[in-house]
Each structure stands twice: as structure tokens, then as C-alpha cells.
Structure 1
Amino acid sequence: MSAAPVVVGVGARRGVPAAEVLALVLDSLAAAGVPPEALTALATVDTKAAEPGLTEAAARLGVPLLAYPAAVLAAVPVPHPSAAALTATGTPSVAEAAALTGADALTMGALTTRAPGTARLLVGKRTSGPGARATCAVAHGRTPHHLCTKETS
């Protein structure tokens, strides 16, 4: 069985530099005690999927950038919802919700649906500092128990 996925959800303002995203992602992975090579994917809201700072950061990290509709992310319970994110993107959370959604989807082997309850946040929403243009959160997928049970004859 392969390792459970580690997904960093990323929220970003238009024009965020890839260097700012990379620094935040690497800092957040370190805070979670996760080596960068264990990262499975970055994830964001679909309206930010073509943001050059995000696409470049994902490319430099060698991982895909997963994108989810705001309506999917809005349905995910998170510890740090934001009125500003809701106004800007249509979901009260991008970073935490995208991290959880991506980790759940990859755990279940599907890129577009969430299997509620299998992923957990390792690091809640963090910003890239004063005047931040990026936020991120780290989630770890967990394989549901029934998928781990080995049948015996």
C-alpha cells in the first residue's frame, strides 16, 4: 500500500509570486514535520488554477495542482473560515478546504469528489506574512479502515 497523500491547499491573490507560494508551502510542510518529497499535490479553488504563481510553484515542486469548484470547497467544514475568502472566491475557505478535499480525493483514488472524514489537517491556515498574498494549509489523507482490512480465507 502506498503512503497516504499529503496535500497543501493554497489560496492566493492575483499576481502572487511563485517564490512566495514556495516559501510558504515549504515552511508549512516543515511545521507539519513532512519532508517536501512526501508532498503529493497542491490544491486550490478552480478560479485560481491558472494563476502563474500557483502553477509555477506546483511545477517547481514536481506535483500536480488540483482545482475544485467553490461550491465543493464551501461544503467542507474548516476551523478557520474567512468572510474575505467567501467574498473573493465564493467559498469561506480555500487553503484548508482544498487541502482536505484533495487529500480525501486522492485517498479514495478520485480527483473530483470528496470522501468526507478521511483527511485531517496537519497544519491549519497560515499566511505568507504581513501583506500576505498567499495562504496555505496541510492535510494528510487517511485510508478508511474498511479499505485496509485484509480478507482472510
Structure 2
Amino acid sequence: MAVPSCLVLGVGIEPGTPLAHLEEAVDALGLTGVDVVATIETRAAEPAVLALAAGRTLRTYPAAALDTVDVPTPSAVVRRLTGTGSVAEAAALLAARELGGGELVTPKQRGRGVTVAVAR
């Protein structure tokens, strides 16, 4: 199976985190382009997520779906807060799988109030 060139950015974000903090974390990844932004359903209306996803596809998933994804760095804290052990990595992988891929390119990276991960 050919790996699609589409890049998916998985985002975990604390409520109220400013867009600047999310952009810092994304910029640190050194990506040349992101086609899809993916996150947990409960963060779909976060202003920073919506701003980052503008002009891109936004995919959201319930915690139960994210919790079925095997990820390299699950978090007990994230599980306690959201009901799943992973948001950024799991969301990126789920969206990439829907697009015919499913390879984690960059495991979760922490920023100020955010985590980001990349899959394709």
C-alpha cells in the first residue's frame, strides 16, 4: 500500500489555550504543509483549533474511538482528563487511516497547553 502524502496534524489542547501557543508547537515541527487537523470532539469548538484548521479539513473523534488506537506514548493524566490515553497521536493516526495511511511521522510533542503529533 502506498503511503499518502497527506499530512495529518493531531492536536491535544487545554481549554482556552491561545492560538499563539498552538502555532508555536506546530512551527516547532517544521512542517511544510498540513492538510488535515484532528482532535477530540470535546475540543472541536476551541478557538485555537478552529483558527488553525481554517482552510483545512477538521476531523474530530469521541474519546472512546481515540482510546482504541495503540500509541507509543499514552498518558495517564490525559486519560483522567479526557477518557482516553491519547489525543494528539490517536487523532492523527485515526484521520490518516481514514485517508488510506496510518503511519505516525512525529510522535507527540508538548507545547504550552498543547500536544501535537503528525501522521500520514
After TM superposition, the score normalised by the length of structure 1 is 0.73
- Inter-partner Cα distance in structure 1 for 2:14 and 2:82: 10
The residue that corresponds to 1:35 in the other structure is: 32
Indicate the structure whose relative CO is greater, using CA pairs within 8 Å and at least 6 residues apart: 2
Partner letter of residue 21 of structure 1? L
Structure 1 residue 22, shift from structure 2 partner = 1.7
Partner letter of residue 92 of structure 1? G
Identity over the aligned pairs, expressed in percent? 42
Structure 1 residue 4, shift from structure 2 partner = 3.0
- Inter-partner Cα distance in structure 1 for 2:98 and 2:83: 21
Match of 1:124 among 101, 107, 119: 107
1:119 match: secondary structure = coil
1:102 paired with 2:95, answer yes
The answer (yes or no) to whether the contact 1:19–1:57 under 8 Å persists in 2 is no
The residue that corresponds to 1:58 in the other structure is: 53
The residue that corresponds to 2:7 in the other structure is: 6
For structure 2, the residue ranges without an aligned partner over 5 or more in a row are none
The residue that corresponds to 1:88 in the other structure is: 81
- Inter-partner Cα distance in structure 2 for 1:73 and 1:44: 9
- Inter-partner Cα distance in structure 1 for 2:56 and 2:19: 14
Partner letter of residue 114 of structure 2? A
Deviations 1:102-134 (A, max 9, x none): 111122xxxxxxxxxx41111101011xxx200
For structure 1, the residue ranges without an aligned partner over 5 or more in a row are 108-117, 141-153
The residue that corresponds to 2:62 in the other structure is: 69
More helix by share: 1
- Aligned positions, number: 118
The residue that corresponds to 2:44 in the other structure is: 49
- RMSD value, Cα: 1.5
After TM superposition, the score normalised by the length of structure 2 is 0.91
- Inter-partner Cα distance in structure 2 for 1:78 and 1:18: 26
Partner letter of residue 4 of structure 1? S
Runs of 4+ deviating beyond 6 Å: none
